[in-house]
Amino acid sequence: MQFITGGRPIPADDVRDISDRSCRMWDEHGFGPWAALEASTERWVGRIGLNLLHWWPDADKWEIGFELSPAYWGRGLATEGALEAVAFAFNDVGLERIISVTRPDHLASRRVMEKCGLVLQGSREPQGGRVAVVWYALDRSDYKRISDSN
């Protein structure tokens, strides 16, 4: 949560709200963030996948998100999961465009987004007291062109 909350713990009520929102995504859309589990122990290490950003000002609100416990950073897990989420978004869900947002100084997240083919679109200062973000996007047509050439 270093880059989401500035390293502050999330209050229990907020954790419940996040969990409830994730469950609603699954109920309403049939998909949402996936639990990221360590393969050998099946221990929960975070979440990766599609996340609906209701607060995002543009029409395309489905984000590729990845949040992992710091003990699992630097192992390629975010990239592996995010690549699966990109393929799922376009091949299974049929989205036309996906986005991903992060704080400008979160260079590791930005590298994951770029490895997944997302392209920097710019920066924004969202409403509602949210911190400034940079945002990336990938269109279905570009994904298909990239995946067809591999």
User: Which tokens in the block code for residue 76?
Assistant: 């390629």
Residues 93-102: pLDDT tens digits?
Answer: 999 999 999 9
Range of the domain at 92: 2-149
Residues 6+ apart with CB under 8 A from 108: 73, 74, 78
CATH code (residue 40) = 3.40.630.30
**pLDDT-derived band at 1, boundaries 50, 70, 90:** very low
Task: Give yes or no for a contact between 51 and 30, defined as CB atoms under 8 angstroms apart.
Answer: no
C-alpha angle 98-100-102 in degrees, rounded to nearest 5: 170
Number of structural domains (the chain) is: 1
Task: Give the distance, in angstroms, between the CA of residue 23 and the centroid of all CA atoms in the same chain.
Answer: 16
Give pLDDT, residue 131. 79
What global pTM score does this model have? 0.86
Residues 9-39: pLDDT tens digits?
Answer: 556 666 667 778 888 888 999 999 999 998 8
Task: Give yes or no for a contact between 136 and 118, defined as CB atoms under 8 angstroms apart.
Answer: yes
C-alpha distances (whole Å) from 23 to each of 10, 17, 26, 101, 102 are: 18, 10, 5, 21, 23
